Structure 1
Amino acid sequence: VPQRHGWEARHWSRIQGAEHLATRDRVALFNLSAFTKIEVSGPGAAGFLQWLAANDVDQPVGKIVYTSLCTSRGGIMADLTITRLAADRFWILTGGSTGPHDLAWIRRHTPGGGAVHIQDMSGQFVALGLWGPRSRDVLAQVAEEDVSTHHFRYYWARPLRIDVVPAMALRLSYAGELGWEIYAPVEYGQRLWDVLWEAGQPYGMIAAGAGAFDSLRLEKGYRLWGADIHTEYNPYEAGLGWAVKLDKGDFMGCDALLRVKEQGIARRLCCLTFDDPAAMALGKEPILADGRVLGFVTSANYGYSLGKLIAYGYLPTEYAKEGTVVEVQCFGRRFAATVAADPLFDPKMARLRA
Structure 2
Amino acid sequence: GIECDFTITRLASDRFLIVTGTAFGRHDMSWISSHAPTDGSVTIRDVTSSLACFGLWGPNARSIVESVSADDLSFRFMQARQITIGEVPCWALRVTYVGESGWELYPAAEFGLRLWDTLVQAGAPFGLVPGGYRAIDSLRLEKGYRAWGSDITNDTDPYSSGLGFAVRLDHEFIGRDALPDPSTGGEQSLCCLVLADSQSVAMGNEPVSLPTGEIVGRITSGGQGYSLGVSIAYSWLPRALADPGTAVSVEVFGVAVAAEVRADPLYDPTGARVRA
TM-score > 0.5, shorter chain as reference: yes
1:271 matched to 2:197? The reply is: no
Cα distance in 2 between the residues matched to 1:269 and 1:191: 42
- 2:238 aligned partner, one-letter code: P
Given the alignment of the two structures, is residue 124 of structure 1 paired with residue 55 of structure 2, yes or no?
no
The 3 A distance-change label for structure 1 pair 278 and 129 is closer
Deviations 1:231-282 (A, max 9, x none): 11111111001001011x111111112x443764211101000122442311
Percent of pairs identical after alignment? 49
Q: Distance in 2 between matches of 1:278 and 1:79?
A: 31
2:163 maps to: 240
Structure 1 Cα separation of the partners of residues 181 and 196 of structure 2:
35
Q: Does 1:153 align with 2:72?
A: no
Deviation at 1:93, TM superposition (A): 0.5
Q: What is the aligned counterpart of 1:223 among 146, 150, 171?
A: 146
CA drift of 1:172 comes to: 1.2
TM-score, with structure 2 as normaliser:
0.97
CA distance in 2, matches of 1:231, 1:285: 21
Structure 2 equivalent of residue 84 of structure 1: 10
The equivalent residue for 2:115 is: 192
TM-score (norm 1): 0.76
- Structure possessing the higher relative contact order (Cα contacts under 8 Å, 6 or more residues apart): 1
* Whole-angstrom distance in 2 between the partners of 1:112 and 1:264: 35
Task: Pick the aligned partner of 1:284 from 205, 208, 221.
Answer: 205
Q: Does the C-alpha gap of structure 1 residues 325 and 167 become closer, same or farther in structure 2, counting only changes over 3 Å?
A: same
Cα distance in 2 for residues equivalent to 1:221 and 1:263: 20
Amino acid at match of 1:167: C
1:97 aligns with 2:23: yes
Which residue does the alignment assign to 1:318?
240
Aligned residues: 275
**1:113 & 1:278 partners in 2: Cα distance?**
56
Tell me whether 1:170 sits opposite 2:96 in the alignment.
no
Whether 1:341 aligns to 2:267 is: no
Cα distance in structure 1, aligned partners of 2:48 and 2:81: 19
Q: Distance in 1 between matches of 2:219 and 2:201?
A: 11
CA shift digits 1:152-174 (9 cap, x unpaired): 11110000011221100001111
Shift of 1:119: 0.3
Give the secondary-structure state (helix, strand or coil) at the position aligned to 2:105.
strand
Q: Which runs of 5+ in 1 are unaligned?
A: 1-74
Number of the residue aligned with 1:109: 35
Q: Is the 8 A contact 2:160 2:185 kept in 1?
A: no
Distance (whole Å) between structure 2 residues aligned to residue 263 and residue 181 of structure 1: 35
Q: Distance in 1 between matches of 2:252 and 2:32?
A: 38
Q: Which amino acid aligns with 1:339?
A: V
- CA-based RMSD: 1.2
